[in-house]
């Protein structure tokens, strides 16, 4: 059975994609495709893989998690599954960690290495969605504020805008954690609104991807009125939010331009082959709606020399 790990990331329509898989379970089952979403993975199946997340971590937690996963995979094979999509954006870290550290998924490599060890070499393909960091951070901050977290101040926003860690570094860390496993990178700008095409592109064998339930948009970023209400409910100051009913836009023009430039640089690297670590999926062969931003080589940003860490499961 082919096990495809859909890593996320957050704010790249992962919730909508998981709902699409769940709503089309019967149609996909007939084609031998199964899916584990957060309802399954966060219901105890992955408990113990990341001991730091446990209130009372067990020394044998990773081994017990590997045993549960092996039994669950055996059950999928017994039911005739030929492909299994494991989709949970939290496997590379909770959203608040990135905002706190002012960088994209600081522990991505270590977390994916632990997950790979729990699957005992059964992962055959990994998929990561990326998004322009100005839109990614804006959406992520809005989501966390709506859930009761404080509004980031100017210094934290500056830290996010000037973080040296880019998608390139996250991709490198994941590739190190999953050696010899093909890593596909799908831009949110192309695949976010077309889950059926995301599904078709991530599977190693062709399927008739259902179009039913394919245009639901779930967990959208809250707008200013919702953020004011959330802050007020938490007893926090709302005066730093602008007036109006539109979208939350925290970054200055200069910060936005810097973040967009870093994304163009990452796309340039991906289009050039990503040093053999990952494959950029543009959707051109499948006719996906949208268009991947194609960087101009004459306008490439500077290489900051950031290198990915070699992740280990220990």
Say what the pLDDT of residue 60 is: 87
Work out the burial of residue 38: count CB atoms within 10 Å of its CB; fewer than 13 is exposed, 13-18 middle, 19 or more buried: middle
Whole-prediction pTM value?
A: 0.89
Say what the pLDDT of residue 56 is: 58
Is the pLDDT higher at 184 or at 54? 184
Among 131-145, 189-203, 245-259, 276-290, the range scoring the smallest mean pLDDT is 276-290
- Domains in the chain (CATH in brackets) are 2-299 (3.40.50)
The encoded tokens of residue 168 equal 């390139």
Work out the burial of residue 241: count CB atoms within 10 Å of its CB; fewer than 13 is exposed, 13-18 middle, 19 or more buried: middle
pLDDT digits (tens, 9 = 90+) for 60-105: 889 999 999 999 999 999 999 999 999 999 999 998 899 999 999 9
Say what the pLDDT of residue 55 is: 55
CA dist 283 and 201 (Å) reads: 8
pLDDT digits (tens, 9 = 90+) for 1-50: 999 999 999 999 999 999 999 999 999 999 999 999 999 999 999 999 99
Helix axes 108-119, 61-78, angle to 10 degrees: 60
CA dist 135 and 117 (Å) reads: 33
Dihedral in degrees, nearest 10, Cα atoms 208, 120, 11, 48: 130
CA dist 268 and 293 (Å) reads: 9
Residues 6+ apart with CB under 8 A from 160: 99, 102, 133, 137, 152
């Amino acid at each position: 059975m082919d096990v495809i790990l859909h890593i996320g990331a957050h704010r790249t329509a992962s919730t909508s994609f998981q709902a699409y898989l769940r709503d089309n379970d019967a149609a996909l089952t007939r084609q031998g495709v199964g899916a584990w979403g957060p309802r399954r993975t966060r219901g105890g199946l992955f408990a113990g893989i990341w001991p730091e997340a446990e209130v009372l971590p067990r020394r044998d937690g990773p081994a017990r998690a590997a045993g549960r996963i092996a039994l669950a995979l055996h059950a999928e094979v017994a039911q005739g599954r030929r492909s299994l999509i494991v989709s949970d954006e939290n496997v590379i870290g909770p959203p608040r960690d990135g905002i706190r550290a002012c960088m994209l998924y600081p522990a991505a490599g270590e977390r994916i290495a632990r997950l790979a060890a729990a699957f005992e070499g059964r992962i055959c393909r990994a998929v990561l969605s990326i998004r322009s960091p100005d839109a990614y951070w804006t959406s992520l901050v809005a989501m966390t504020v709506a859930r009761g977290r404080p509004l980031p101040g100017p210094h934290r926003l500056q830290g996010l805008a000037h973080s040296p860690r880019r998608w390139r570094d996250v991709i490198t860390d994941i590739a190190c954690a999953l050696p010899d496993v093909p890593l596909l990178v799908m831009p949110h700008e192309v695949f976010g609104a077309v889950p059926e095409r995301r599904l078709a592109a991530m599977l190693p064998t062709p399927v008739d991807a259902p179009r039913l339930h394919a245009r639901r948009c779930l967990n959208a970023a809250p707008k200013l009125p919702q953020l004011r209400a959330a802050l007020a409910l938490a007893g926090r100051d709302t005066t730093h939010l602008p007036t109006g009913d539109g979208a939350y836009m925290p970054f200055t023009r200069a910060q936005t331009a810097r973040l967009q430039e870093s994304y163009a640089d990452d796309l340039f690297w991906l289009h050039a082959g990503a040093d053999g670590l990952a494959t950029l999926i543009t959707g051109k062969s499948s006719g996906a709606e949208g268009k991947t931003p194609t960087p101009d080589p004459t306008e490439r940003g500077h290489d900051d020399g950031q290198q990915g860490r070699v992740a280990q499961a220990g």
